[in-house]
Every structure is written in structure tokens, then in C-alpha cells.
Structure 1
Amino acid sequence: MPNLTAPALPAGTLRQMPQPRLTGLRPWREADTPAVREAFSDAGTQRWHVLRIDDDAEALAWIARWPRRWAAEEAASWAIVSDDQAIGQIGLRQISLYEAKAHISYWTLPAARGRGLAGQAVRTLTDWCFGTLRLHRLSIEHSVHNESSCRVASKAGFPLEGTLCGSMLHADGWHDAHSHGRLRGD
């Protein structure tokens, strides 16, 4: 069956280029294993990202999946860095080149929280996604109880668009989610 619209971005848009290093962001590397383990052993990260990493092998597997997901054009992840040391994560999830859109996710290590680093990372990735990649829309969704993530989204220029009822499953059950979004022309 023919589509009535052409893809907004052609297949191959991501995999034809290496994952870029951006200001304060770089692709993950094996040396980031301790930071990944620290993040996913933190109760705050686990609460909102529903993943636990128990050993170096699991952390390395988590790191190793990102080049494959970039090549498959389904997701991407960067280390948020300070002095080239990983202190957080920012990524694109649910990438749709056909519709030129993606969701942004982020976390920071406990010692890096409250310093504006996640917000700066969101602004940097947003600029690249709209300016270089030419995505049409980016969105951020988080539990309505995750006030820190809401502040990051708002300060990074992603206005609250609404609440999605019962749309996120966390370890403690279903959560309503705030939905924030931006268009390339905003």
C-alpha cells in the first residue's frame, strides 16, 4: 500500500554519519563503566528510569548497545561530561525519521544534580536535532511526581503541553506523565 506522504527524513539519516560529539556531550565509551554503575545503583535514577545495573558486565552491555541503536536509527545516547568525565546521560528515544521526531531522556549522577547541567545538555541536543538533524518535533515526558525533570524541561524551553493519564509504568505502579514539546520553528 502506498503512503500518502513522503518521509520527512530519509532512512539512513543517522547511520550515514558518525554520532557527533557536541559541547558537553560525547558518545559513551568503556571507561564510563563506573559512572553507569553509579547512576543505575542510585535510587533516584532507578525510580524514574526503571533500570538497575549490578556489575561491570551489565554496564558494559548498556554502553555497547548505543552504537547498534544509532545504526538502527531507533535511539541514541550521549554521556553528559565535565572535564571529559561522564556525569550524566542524555538521549533520543523513539526516533521516527519518517515523522522527524523523537523523545529526549536525561539523568545526572547525584553529585552533578542541581547545577543546571541536564538543562544545558537538553538545549545543546535540541539545537543539534533541529539545526543539523532537521527534526520537526522533540518531546520530553516524565512522571508528574518527578519535579526535577519538569524543571529541566521548562528551563530548557519545552513548555508543558498536557498530562498523559496512566502512561508510565514505574516500580511503584502506573504514573500520570507530563508531556513537554517543541517544534523546530519555536
Structure 2
Amino acid sequence: MRQWNRLLVETSEDARRRIERMHERWRAEVSAIWAIARPGGEAVGLIGWGDIDLSGGSAEVVYWILPAARGGGVVVEATKRVSQWALNDLGLHRLRLCHSVANPASCRVAEKAGYSLEGTMRSALLHADGWHDEHLHALVQGDI
């Protein structure tokens, strides 16, 4: 996770501040995050919408998953569900999903969830090892 997630959480205070920020962004209606849990209730990751623009009808799908839970389709299913909810129930028109081109697993998640690859954004995201190009995928009303 640390390879692709720029926000480090190294202490309980870091975690508390990050959760507080999630709550603030929820109240401001610019972000919404939920736990990804197995049927028994064990949390294995997060999924949500970032950069929500209710008046413009768009948001970015964001997620992370624990290494032990990868490869079983849980992120694909969670992505499909939050995407359907956003487009069909919330009334958004367009969702985007961006990831480093060096992260092929996220490319597979986007494709399996029905997102179309629209292009590559050059030097779009700074990671610990430098600037990364990012793939831009999108799902719009009518795609699902």
C-alpha cells in the first residue's frame, strides 16, 4: 500500500488526524469513504469518492486494499457498487479512476469495473520515488 499511497500513517495520532480529515471532507460533501469488509466484517481496505463536485456531476473513485486481500476481486466488486450508486442513485454523470502507470493491478480493477481508459497524464502524481505518469479511466452515465 505504501508504494501507491502518498499519505503516510505511522502513529496513532497520524491515524486520528487522517480520520478527522475524512470526517471533515464528508461534512463538506467533497469526499466519502467506506470500509471494504469481508462477509464476516473484517475490514480489508477502503473505497470511496474523492474530489466530489455535486453541481458538476463528477467524482474520483479512490481505494486501497491490504496485501492479503488482493487478487480476489473484492476491490472490483466494491468499485462496481460505489460506481453504480454514484451514477444511478446519487445522480453523478462522470466518475474517474486514476492510478500510476506502474500499477497494473489498478489498471485491471478499472477495466474489470467497466471503466474506459481515456489516456495517460504525464508526470501527474508525485510518489516517494519521483513523478509518475497516471492512467485516466472514466465511467459515465449510460456505461452501466
Normalising by structure 1, what TM-score? 0.73
Partner of 2:4: 48
Moved over 3 A (4+): none
Structure showing greater Rg: 1
Partner of 1:120: 77
Please report how far the alpha carbon of residue 141 of structure 1 lies from its aligned counterpart in structure 2 after TM superposition.
0.5
1:57 to 3, 6, 13: 13
Given the alignment of the two structures, is residue 105 of structure 1 paired with residue 62 of structure 2, yes or no?
Answer: yes
2:29 to 60, 65, 73: 73
Number of residue pairs aligned between Structure 1 and Structure 2? 142
Give distance in 1, aligned partners of 2:99 and 2:109: 11
Normalising by structure 2, what TM-score? 0.94
Amino acid at match of 2:23: P
Give distance in 1, aligned partners of 2:131 and 2:11: 28
Identity over aligned pairs, percent:
45
Give distance in 1, aligned partners of 2:42 and 2:17: 19
Please report how far the alpha carbon of residue 183 of structure 1 lies from its aligned counterpart in structure 2 after TM superposition.
0.5
Q: List alignment gaps of at least 5 residues for structure 2.
A: none
Give distance in 2, aligned partners of 1:80 and 1:178: 23
Give distance in 2, aligned partners of 1:63 and 1:81: 17
Question: Normalized per residue, which structure has more strand?
Answer: 2
Per-residue deviation, residues 40-71 of structure 1 (Å, max 9, x unmatched): xxxxx111111221122222222233222111
Give distance in 2, aligned partners of 1:54 and 1:62: 11
Given the alignment of the two structures, is residue 89 of structure 1 paired with residue 89 of structure 2, yes or no?
Answer: no
Per-residue deviation, residues 56-89 of structure 1 (Å, max 9, x unmatched): 2222222233222111011111110112221011
Amino acid at match of 1:48: W
Q: List alignment gaps of at least 5 residues for structure 1.
A: 1-44
